[in-house]
Each structure stands twice: as structure tokens, then as C-alpha cells.
Amino acid sequence: MEIIGHFINGQLSTDTARTQAVYNPATGEILKQVAIASKATVEEAIAAAEQAFPAWRNTPVIKRARIMFKFKELLEQHADKICELIGLEHGKIVHDAAGELQRGIENVEYACGAPEFLKGEFSKNVGPNIDSWSELQPLGVVAGITPFNFPIMVPLWMFPMAIVCGNCFILKPSERDPSSTLYIAQLLKEAGLPDGVFNLVNGDKEAVDTLLQDRRIQAVSFVGSTPIAEYIYKTATAAGKRCQALGGAKNHAIIMPDADVDNVVNSLLGAAFGSSGERCMALSVAVAVGDEIADVVIEKLKTEIGKLKFGHFADKSNDFGPVITAEHKAKVITHIDSAEKQGAKIVVDGRHVAPQGYENGFFVGATLIDQVTPDMSSYQQEIFGPVLQIVRVSTMQEAMKLIDDHEYGNGTCIYTRDGEAARYFSDHIQVGMVGINVPLPVPVAYHSFGGWKRSLFGDLYAYGPDGARFYTHRKTITQRWPSANVREGKQFSMPTLN
């Protein structure tokens, strides 16, 4: 059986002391094995990056950008292959995989602008014959730890920006769907990236802890669940590293009484059930302001959910596919069970359904739950599956308080025709990313992505302008070349221009 290995110093490498099964979630069958890196293997990758750093940091930024331009071309040329690999191991339908890849490519495009955003600043004559300027210098060797749900997009949030800024990078992708990520690592080499600048190790907690504790790693980026994000952040910062750790979410949509119901229903269907709900920006809670709008939306949702198709990734007519593992399927079903036991109403039940011919796959059907209350465990926790819960409230203020009181603050949106209500909502809601009649307010590549509260640990968001700030140190230099005939006398007070 094929073993998926690592990519170290420009070469494929396989550490077979430990392996783990990689499944086809649509069939439940084992596709491949993935090598689980030992501490020594991770240290080999770090050593390769450390050795490559001096030459890479001194490579002109325009040459680094040209490699990113070529890498973008290769991603586009091999898009079908990349999407197939995503579909086989994640289960994501090909059109959804294509959307993921395109979002990632947009981040590569932004990174291509490095000659502009790395220019720094310059001020002449800040004092007599004194000039001052700032430079953005690379950190050194940096690492990224990425999740299963976006095996291409999230790594592309990280390493193109880190590399174009002059750093060398170690990527630890999810061991559940590793093939697509390893494939694009090889495309990066084909684009002309020198060996050792980018390295990839597949692994588990041993690999992660090695990256967190090794003094040669200067910064760590992470996307995943909140408990792990908190662990990553605390461990990395305790070791003196810069860290951004993006965690979980419970994204709410407020439905106002004046909302366009058809738009709401269409938006909720895609935002709640697309990618089987395995998105940190999935809309998992709809907060209906008033029973009248709640009843209308639920009836329309019930009808439209009955039309949804789910199944194998290669069938473009499917709307979504399986969840990632049998264990995760069981976890999602447990959340639905708990909601029912605690008094919620299961309007559409996806617990015991599967597409014909894929009965052994890890499928959960679209599920709609009404009469959910904030004290229910299914409301409090991130389900990460194709489950939409309805909470009923009387006022917009009550709806906003629900959102503000939740431990997560990743994304939210409001559906309304009232500009005053929308403006008040966007100004006052305690959430990092806000949509107004937009269900998934994921910022484009030239803005930055991140939540508030326990959805983000760290001071800087992912990608965009914050990405460039995260992967660089600002150094400010002040220079004076006095005339040979002018000497400055002794000065003991704080220098000023008075």
C-alpha cells in the first residue's frame, strides 16, 4: 500500500517507523498509509530550513516574488489533480474543492506583491543631516500547523507569505488528508524554490511538540480547534516564539423580521451544509427574531433540505459529501442526540441516512433542529457537521446578547433590509468577521482573517496585511553623516528638535 511521506530539503522522504491509515470517507475504505514523523525527522527538516535561510533571506524580493508567480501558474495548471486528491481523502465535492483552491491561489497572488509591501518607510532629515527608515526583515525558520478541513487553502494562507518575506518554512499538515498538500510542495520546487526553503513533515503530537519546543523555530501559525489552539499558543509563547493560533467557532446568523426569506434560506443552506459543515466559518446557528419569521424560514428550509444531494466527491451534482472520519460522524450524531434529549425539536434528521452504494461511508445528512436554547451542550460546543440549529428570540438586542455571551467570536451575520439595524449590528457585535446579508464573511486575500475571544490566540490575524506583519520584524534605522567640520557637543538630556 502506498505510504505518504515527507518533503525535506527538496526531496521526498519516508519515515516508516510509525504509520497511520488514510481513509476514503465516502466508502470507509483505507486508501493509503501516512508516515508519522519522529522527533529526529522533524529536526532534520528544521536543520534543512536553517541551512537554507541565509541565502534565501538575501535573495532579492523580486526573485522571491517571481517564484510565487510561477507557483500560482502551476497550481492553476494542476487544479484538477489537486481537487481530486482533496476529494479522495477529505470527501469534499469537486466544485467545493475548486473553490477552496481558488481562495488559496488568491493568497499566492497577494504574496506576489511583496516588492511593494516590504518596501518599508523612509524619512529624510528627521534632524540635522539625520535620516531614518524602517525595514521589514524575515524572522528565520517558521512553522505552520494546519487542519484537515482545508488541506490546501489554509497552508496557502501561511507559507507563500512567509516564504516571500524571506523566511524558511516547516509545514505540519493534517495526517488525515495529506496527499494534496504534499503534491503542492512538489509544485513549489518545480516553480524554482531552492531546496530547504520549504519543508513538510506529516505527524502527530510528537511532531507538533518538536516544532513548539525547538529554539530554531521563531514563529508558529496554527488553525484548528480551540483547545489545541490554546495549547499551541501557550506552549509556543512560553518558548519565546511568536504565535497566531486560530481556534473554533459557533457562528450565528440573526434573521430579522424584515429579511428577504428566499435569500436567507438559500444562504443558510450553503453556509450550514456546504463542505458538510466542516468549516470554521459555517453558519451553525440561526437566531430568528420573532416566531413568525422563524416559522416561515423553518418551513422553507425543511422543503429545500429535502432537495439536497450528498454523496461521492466526483459527482458534481452533489451538494456536499461525508464527514472526515467514522469517529467524527459518531461525534456529530452524539450532538444531535443530546439536543433531542435536552428538549430541542429535530425537524430534519440526518443521523441515519446514506447515499445508495455508499452505506459504509462517513455520511451525516443535513439536519435541522428547532427550539434550541443556550443552555444546551449542542449550542455551546462546535459541532463541525451538517447541522443547523434554530434559536428563537424576541428582539435584536436579545439576539446580539446571545452572540456576545458565547465563548467564540469568529464570524456572524445579519439578514435585514434595515440599514440602521445593520449598521448598529456591525458596530457593536463582539465578533471578528461580520456579514450583512452575506452568510460567510471570509475576508478576501488582501484583507486579513481572524476572530475574537476564544476563536483567536495572538495579536495578528491570518494572511493579508497581518500576514506580512506576522512573518517579519520591523527594524528602524537612524543614520547621520556629519560634515567633517561640524562636531556635536556633549548632550545629556533627551534629544529633541526644539
* pLDDT tens, position by position, 53-83: 999 999 999 999 999 999 999 999 999 999 9
* pLDDT tens, position by position, 359-384: 999 999 999 999 999 999 999 999 99
Can you give the pLDDT at residue 274? 96
* pLDDT tens, position by position, 128-155: 889 999 999 999 999 999 999 999 999 9
Can you give the pLDDT at residue 371? 97
Can you give the pLDDT at residue 322? 98
Burial of residue 356 (CB within 10 Å: 0-12, 13-18, 19+) is: exposed
pTM of the model: 0.95
Q: Which residue type sits at 471?
A: Y
Second CATH level (architecture) for the domain 3-247+455-477:
3-Layer(aba) Sandwich (3.40)
Copy the grid coordinates of residue 448: 486579513
- Active-site residue identified among 165, 168, 243, 280: 280
Mean pLDDT score across all residues of the chain: 96
Can you give the pLDDT at residue 206? 96
Alpha helices (runs of H) in 430-492, residue ranges in sequence order: 464-470
Per-residue confidence band for 11, with pLDDT thresholds at 50, 70 and 90: very high
The answer to whether 464 and 103 are in contact (CB under 8 A) is no
Residue 481 has pLDDT above 90, yes or no: no
Helix axes 94-111, 153-164, angle to 10 degrees: 10
Sheet of strand 456-457, all strands in order from the earlier edge strand to the far edge? 11-13, 6-8, 198-200, 168-172, 141-145, 217-223, 242-246, 456-457
Can you give the pLDDT at residue 486? 66
280 has catalytic annotation? yes
Share of the chain above pLDDT 90, in %: 94
Strands 19-24 and 242-246: unpaired
Can you give the pLDDT at residue 492? 82
Cα 434 from chain centroid?
Answer: 16
Residue 344 has pLDDT above 90, yes or no: yes
Looking at the domain 251-436, which fold is it? Aldehyde Dehydrogenase; Chain A, domain 2 (3.40.309)
- Give the start-to-end residue ranges of the domains of the chain: 3-247+455-477, 251-436
